[in-house]
Structure 1
Amino acid sequence: MARSFLYAWEGLVYAWRVQRNFRLEAYLGLLALLLALWLGVDPVPVLLLIALVLSLELLNTALEALTDLASPVYHPLAKRAKDTAAAAVFLASLLALSIGLHLFLPPLLRKLGLI
């Protein structure tokens, strides 16, 4: 069991090291969490959305690696697989942004004295 945690950790380290988008999404997630705490917003939905986006980014990274292994030269189906996995991350990110606006906008406007 401890070995499986080590493998998972290695996957996280790899994604952090080579995937700029993973790092960017992690930083944005941390910013969203800090904003939630500052605004007094329940952090649970924010944490769930962060986990969703980062998990899909990790799956996207894994699928890209497998696709590159299976098809080292360009193939239209390999492109479709990569693009579709990236679209999953994109949709989750749009969902996170939409829910973030819904959660953060009213308390932020109140804190700024605009409502």
Structure 2
Amino acid sequence: MSIKQKSHQRQSLISSFKHAFEGIAVGVLNERNMKIHLCAMCLVILFGIEFKISIIEWCICVILCGMVIGAELVNCAVEAIVDMVMPDIHPNAKVAKDTAAGAVLVCAISALIVGGIIFVPKIFSILLK
């Protein structure tokens, strides 16, 4: 592989990361629910620090937070594409948007349940002391 090809690959990788971070920024700035998910993630981090959760519990929390944020970003992308391709109201556009939003809801509810399993016993142990 030539030096020019390696340079192009490096630049392409940097460009890919730049575009990905721009996509995250768009989601954070434009999506109300993304802000809610990020606030929830901050609470998870604060609770995790306060309750000194285990490494396994941290890993679970990180995976779930990533799953919810990732699902919200995909939902944002689906909505943008549907709005671009189908500016008029159409039943299939509604299905696409509603199912993408439903996927986020399923991820968020799953994360909430697992978060409850991790944190509720720790909260009760402090309250019952």
Normalising by the smaller structure, the TM-score range is over 0.9
Could you list the runs of 4 or more consecutive aligned residues of structure 1 that deviate by over 4 angstroms after TM superposition?
none
| Structure 1 unpaired stretches of 5+ | none
The share of aligned pairs that are identical, in percent, is 32
1:107 lines up with 2:122 in the alignment: yes
- Written as runs of structure 1 = structure 2, the 5 A alignment for 1:1-115 is 1-41=13-53, 42-113=57-128
CA distance in 1, matches of 2:76, 2:124: 37
- TM-score (normalised: structure 1): 0.95
* Rg larger in structure: 2
**Can you list the C-alpha shifts for 1:23-78, whole angstroms capped at 9, x where unaligned?**
11011111112102211223111111100000000000000000011101000100
CA distance in 2, matches of 1:86, 1:7: 23
| Structure 2 unpaired stretches of 5+ | 1-12
Structure 1 residue matching 2:87: 3-state secondary structure: coil
RMSD: 1.0
CA distance in 2, matches of 1:78, 1:7: 26
Number of aligned residue pairs: give it. 114
Higher mean alpha-carbon deviation, 11-20 vs 80-89, is at 11-20
